[in-house]
Chain A
Amino acid sequence: MTEACISIQGVTKTFGETRAVDALDLVVPRGSLCGFLGPNGAGKTTTIRMVMSIIYPDAGSVSVLGGSALASKDRIGYLPEERGVYRKMRVAEFLEYIARLKGCPRRGLRESIARWLKRVDLPEVGRQRCQELSKGMQQKVQFVAACIHEPDLLILDEPFSGLDPVNANLVNTLIRELRDAGTTIIFSTHVLHQAEQICDRFFLIDHGRKLLDATLDEIHERFDPRTILVEPLEGADLAAIEGIRETRPIEGERAVEVEVDDGRDPQEVMRAILAAGPCRRLELRRVSLDDAFVRLVRENAGEQQALRAREELRA
């Protein structure tokens, strides 16, 4: 865990007028499973592309696997957010092509492809053309394309988008297996709670700037819980209680989430809720990444931006 797999220092990248990444510092320890998080347009893909040396920073340095990003290209696996396959190519041919481009020797490649297709539960598709596969199947094929050359570093940009729960679960298991085998994995997503479930380290960025770089424990330590889950027995008027910033209904449940104002003691608010009427459930929620992110945005950029960030996270 001590050695750095990726080390980004003071990296800035501008496209025309837009500053996509702004003086970003980042260190990804070897063997970790890092969540690379932020709303759409935060600069995640741009950063990843620089790590992949697809584009180059205007300023700053990127070092990957102890060397230049370019030299390590063959040791990195990449599942881009923009998914694509050659529609007319056969699945096995496509995987062979990508693997050959990644420097895999021809010997044993066929067997390895067959093994991987079996692993993602697509044992029979090798002879089929990519366009004959469903979208979810294509996505799994692309996941294989990112892993086929057994990379030391695997970058997954939104790996679960478009997958049904069964397949999402399958990919989830594969990611854990790869992590256990020692692969460093970067998991980029705007769906923070997905990352929360599997990652051991989190980077939150917004507008090209780093907001957070911490483990889950550190996050729990740093952000005291400010969300209360309430399920009143009968319609209690929560709005009347002081110290509540916002009340959000939870879909499909009778309970609501109550956000406590900054500077208020959540315990005190809980007591006030109880005093207002009997509750079926009342609990202080552990801080979620979403909450932490919104709070960080609020601290950095004010309430307006915080509301925007919450909207974006829900989208």
Chain B
Amino acid sequence: MSKVMTVAWREFKATALTKAFIIGAVLAPAVGIGLAVAMPVLLTRKPPPLAGTVAMVDPGGAIAAATAVEIDPETVRARIEEALDEALEKLDSSRMPSSFSGDQAIGATRDLARVEIDVELERHDDPGALDELKRRLREGDLVAIITVEGGEEGVPAATGPPSEVTLYVAQTTNQKHTSLLEATLGRAMNRVRIEAAGLDVDQVRRLARKRSPKTVQVGAEGKEHREDIAAKVVKRLIPMAFMMLLWMGAFVGANYLLTTTIEEKSNKVMEVLLSAVSPMQLMAGKIIGQALVGLVMISMYGGVGFVALGTFAFANLITWTQIVLLGLYYVMAYFMVASIMAAIGSAVNELREAQSLMTPAMMLLMIPLLLWLPISDSPNGWLATVTSFIPPLIPFVMVIRIAGTEPVAVWQILLSLGVGYAAMLVMVWAAAKIFRVGVLMYGKPPSPLELIRWLRYS
């Protein structure tokens, strides 16, 4: 056993204590944690006030008048409150788990809400004044210029084409200020049209607001709870995050296992090792060492995710049971993938030769990625249930299910663990057989069929 641990420790040291790994697996998530913590701080940063003169060239005068109303700081604030409500409702009714539009909408309106406005409108009737105004804009004398051409805005029951409104801003204008001016102008044009139709602006806007129903989940024990709007989106993402973590952890470790095995073969250190340990001990040590590497990876990235959830106060969405199960399924997934990689690594002389053997293995292991969407949409559907008991898919499918919103039957979890671990042992046994033959085999790399034939060698 101590030999196995000696091998495992070297394997871990040689992989995890390298610059590349530390940068990729430790530093990157650490920066991620930093960002996750810093994000709320960054979001609350106040944009500079929008202050100065906006020139408006509107011969008709209707849009200019409406703009004067819309740009009033009180109106802007009320409007933003309203937009925020609307965005939240949109988020609530959003069906697509990957939709970030809601988040973005909230973020954008929040930003706008904080802009202090102190703008003076300077009205011009002569379109010929534009050149002079542009010069003033360039010199910083003006914040923006708005021109209105043609159209019949303001004329009751107008049927002609709408007027063309252009907003000129300096290249250096703050993006948030530009958005604010755009939004204001849009509202002003809208206001003119409503008024021209003889309707009450506030009433029309109230009526035009999009409304969405609230969703209440009725639990098995009779508990009902209204889903937290943002939590709902996050919850949709958690199963994918869990599966990606598992996938990454299993693959990073197993991939290193493949490369170190090939390295030991190609630099001929294998025979020295085998003079001290049996092939079984060597393989066991290598697998354990790389399992730790994968675990470091998972903890780092998982940690970032957890901190990120914590920052936005969603940490309670993950339970300890889920984390424990994730651990159990990680071990299963890793050992399955690792036994495949160990077998392949032992059989070839160079990384290049591994590619042809990797293709069928990779195809098998891509399946969970394709299954993610259908399974997370229907975590207790037939597809999810069936794939929960097909060995190489078990851990990946099950983490999607246990991280999902619908509870999974306990017997299914227990059975999948049983079937999965049994299958895992068979795979490790087969890999050990191939490993024993492969490590001393030099020359032409074997085909997948030959690999299977090696199972029968004593």
Interfacial residues, chain A to chain B (CB-CB below 8 A):
49, 52-56, 70, 73-74, 76, 78, 80, 82-89, 97-98, 100-103, 142, 145-146
Contacts and interface: CB of A to CB of B under 8 A. Distances in A.
Contacts of A97: 6, 10
B7 A101 contact: yes
Contacts, number: 60
Interface stretch (B94-102, B227-235, B274-282, B338-346): B274-282
B268 interface: yes
A145 B14 contact: no
User: Which applies to chain A's interface (DSSP): helix, strand, loop or mixed?
Assistant: loop
A74 B277 CA distance: 9
Given A49-B440, A55-B440, A76-B275, A84 B268 contact: yes
Given A49-B440, A52-B275, A78-B275, A86 B269 contact: yes
B370 interface: no
Contacts of A88: 14
User: Which applies to chain B's interface (DSSP): helix, strand, loop or mixed?
Assistant: helix
Contacts of A74: 276
Nearest to A70: B278
B275 A142 contact: no
B271 to A, nearest CB: 4
B270 interface: yes
Contacts of B277: 73, 101
Contacts of B276: 73-74, 98, 101-102
A29 B101 CA distance: 82
Nearest to B274: A54
Contacts of A101: 3, 6-7, 273, 276-277
A145 B276 CA distance: 11
A142 B273 CA distance: 12
A98 B3 CA distance: 10
Contacts of B269: 84-86
A103 B275 CA distance: 12
26 contacts: A49-B440, A73-B275, A73-B276, A73-B277, A78-B271, A78-B272, A80-B271, A80-B275, A82-B268, A83-B268, A84-B264, A84-B271, A85-B267, A86-B263, A86-B267, A87-B267, A88-B14, A89-B14, A97-B6, A97-B10, A98-B272, A101-B3, A101-B276, A101-B277, A103-B3, A142-B272
Contacts of B271: 49, 54, 78, 80, 82, 84
A126 to B, nearest CB: 17
A80 B267 contact: no
